[in-house]
Amino acid sequence: MEENRYELNKNLAQMLKGGVIMDVTTPEQAKIAEDAGACAVMALERIPADIRAAGGVARMSDPKMIKGIQAAVSIPVMAKCRIGHFAEAQILQAIEIDYIDESEVLSPADDKYHIDKTKFSVPFVCGAKDLGEALRRIGEGASMIRTKGEPGTGDVVQAVRHMRMMQADIRRIAAMAEDELYECAKQLQAPCELVNYVHEHKKLPVVNFAAGGVATPADAALMMQLGAEGVFVGSGIFKSGNPAKRAAAIVKAVTNFRDADLLAELSEDLGEAMVGINEQEIQLLMAERGR
C-alpha cells in the first residue's frame, strides 16, 4: 500500500468525526439512517444483539446485500469481516467498500493473527480495549480505532471502561520522560514509534470513535465527553421502539454533547430503548476476541 493511500484513509475517518455510524441490515434501514443524519452506515446481515441471540458462527455479510445498501445511500458504507479473515477483507475491497471493520462482533477466523491491513487499499477500523491494543492495530495498518465496548448489549459500561483506559494511558504517556517511552512500549506491547507519537501529540495518530453498547442520546453524549470523536450505534437504533426518532436524537446529541438543555429535549419521548443485557448476564464477551 503506498504511503499516500494510508494518509487518505486516515483522512476519510477525519471527515466522519462528530458523526454517528449506524448498523443497518437492509436498504430500507440504510435510508432511514441516512435521513436521520448518519455520517456512514455499517452494512451487516444481523445486528449484534441478534448475532448474540442466534449463536453459531457469524461471518461476513452477503456481498449482494452490501451492494444493495451501497446503491441505496450516498454516504460511506462500511462492512465487517472476521478478525484475521483476510480473504473476506479481499472480497469487501473488491466490492469497493468504503471502510472495513475487522470486528470482534463476528466469530474470529484466526485466534493469533489479525489481518495485515497494510496490504489493502481500502481503510480498516478496528476495536480496542486499551491503548496497547489500539496501537497494535494501528501498527498493523488500521486507519481508525473504536472502543470495543460490548456489542449487542445496550450496556455502555464496557465502552466507558475502554475509553477511560485509553485516555488514561494517553495522559500517562504524555507525561513521561523520553527515556521511559521504550519500556512503556514494551509493557503496552506496542510499536515504539507509535508510543513516541502519543507522547508528542497527546492523542492517537488516528481518529477514535466509541462503540459497543451505546443506546441513548445520553450514552452518546457521555462517550463524547469522555473523548470519543464520534459514535457507532449498532443494535441501539433498530432494536428500539422508534428507530428514526432515536437515530436523529443521537445524531444531535453527538453534535451538542455538552448542551444539557438540548440533551434533555432530545431524550424526551423516544419510545422504548432496546431492552439490553447487563454485563454480568452475558455468556459471550465479544470484547475478549482478538488481542
User: Is 37 a residue that touches other proteins (CB under 8 A)?
Assistant: yes
Min dist. Cβ of residue 76 to other proteins (A): 7
Q: Which three cell numbers stand for residue 65?
A: 446485500
Query: Residue 268 Cβ, how far from other proteins at the closest point, in Å?
Result: 15
Least Cβ distance, residue 245 to other proteins (angstroms): 12
* Nearest-5° Cα angle at 95, 94 to 101: 90
Subset of 172-191 contacting other proteins (CB under 8 A): none
Q: Which of 22, 24, 30, 40 is close enough to bind other proteins by CB under 8 A?
A: 40
Alpha carbon distance 55, 169 (integer Å):
34
Q: Output 37 or 213, the one with its CB closest to other proteins.
A: 37
Query: Which CB, 14 or 118, lies closer to other proteins?
Result: 14
Binding mask 60-99 for other proteins (x = CB under 8 A): ----------x---xxx----------------x--xxxx
214 binds other proteins (CB under 8 A): no
* 16 in contact with other proteins (CB under 8 A): yes
Q: How far apart are CA 287 and CA 284, in angstroms?
A: 9
Please answer whether residues 237 and 250 qualify as being in contact, where contact means their C-beta atoms are separated by less than 8 angstroms: yes
Choose which of 256, 267, 276, 282 interacts with other proteins (CB under 8 A).
256
Q: Which of residues 17-36 bind other proteins (CB under 8 A)?
A: 17-19, 34
Q: Does residue 123 belong to the site contacting other proteins (CB under 8 A)?
A: yes
Asked if 108 contacts 83 with a C-beta cutoff of 8 angstroms, the reply is yes
Put residue 18 in one of left, alpha, beta given phi > 0 → left and psi -120 to 50 → alpha.
Answer: left
Distance, in Å, from the CA atom of 137 to the CA atom of 125, rounded to the nearest integer, reads 9
Q: Say how many residues touch other proteins, by CB under 8 A.
A: 37
Binds other proteins (CB under 8 A): choice among 1, 6, 12, 50: 12
Residue placing its CB nearer to other proteins in the complex, 95 or 192: 95
Q: CA distances (Å), 3 to each of 92, 99, 141, 145, in order?
A: 21, 17, 11, 19
Q: Assess whether 112 carries a catalytic annotation.
A: no
Q: Of the listed 80, 129, 239, 252, which one is catalytic?
A: 80
Query: H-helix or E-strand containing 161?
Result: helix 157-174
CB nearer other proteins, residue 40 or residue 222: 40
130 binds other proteins (CB under 8 A): no
Rg value, the chain, Cα: 18
Contact 224, 231 (CB under 8 A): yes
Task: List the 20-24 sheet strands across, edge first.
Answer: 207-209, 144-147, 124-128, 99-103, 77-82, 40-43, 20-24, 231-233
**How many Å apart are CA 178 and CA 237, to the nearest integer?**
45
> Is 252 near other proteins (CB under 8 A)?
yes
Residue closer to other proteins by CB (options 39, 83) is: 39
Active site residues: 80
Tell me which residues touch other proteins (CB under 8 A): 4, 7-9, 11-12, 14-19, 34, 37-40, 70, 74-76, 93, 96-99, 121-123, 248, 251-252, 254-256, 259, 262
